Amino acid sequence: MSSDAIAILGFVVLFVLMLLRVPVGMAMGLVGVSGFAYMVGGAAALKNVGHTTMRTVTDYNFAVVPLFLLMGAFATTSGMSRELFRGANAFVGHLKGGLGIATIAACGPSHSPPASSPRAERSAS
């Protein structure tokens, strides 16, 4: 079977799986691994799945996101976020657009640690 026919068959199977209400990520993964296994071989496809999974799980960028959400949960549970917003709203709430300014001012301290400022990046290089 040619690679074009395999691609068309893969799209058809993908749409059928989505019509059967299989989650999109699972359907795409199943079709992709199956097509790769048909073209190259089953052992190579399973080895590729293992390497991709390990590379994704150990990536630093994916470790930061859950920790960032945990920090937000701590700030909300402790009441810190509410108090930061109240303070910022007291300062700028009376201005035009004060609600938006207060929201940005309350989020600023927790989302911009000193090491991530542009000045710190210039001095580090």
Pair (45, 89) in one structural domain: no
Indicate the SS3 state at residue 38.
Answer: helix
Indicate the average pLDDT of the chain: 83
Pair (68, 40) in one structural domain: no
Q: Give how far the C-alpha of residue 98 lies from the chain's centroid of Cα atoms, to the nearest Å.
A: 30
User: Encoding tokens for residue 117?
Assistant: 């400022």
Strand stretches in the chain, DSSP E: none
Question: Whole-prediction pTM value?
Answer: 0.49
Report yes or no: 107 and 75 within 8 Å, Cβ to Cβ.
no
Domain count of the fold of the chain? 2
> Between 65 and 96, whose confidence is greater?
96
Q: How confident is the model at residue 111 (pLDDT cuts 50, 70, 90)?
A: low
Please state, in angstroms and rounded to a whole number, the distance separating the CA atoms of residues 86 and 56: 40
pLDDT above 80: residue 49: yes
Parent domain of 16: 3-57
Pair (16, 45) in one structural domain: yes
Pair (40, 89) in one structural domain: no
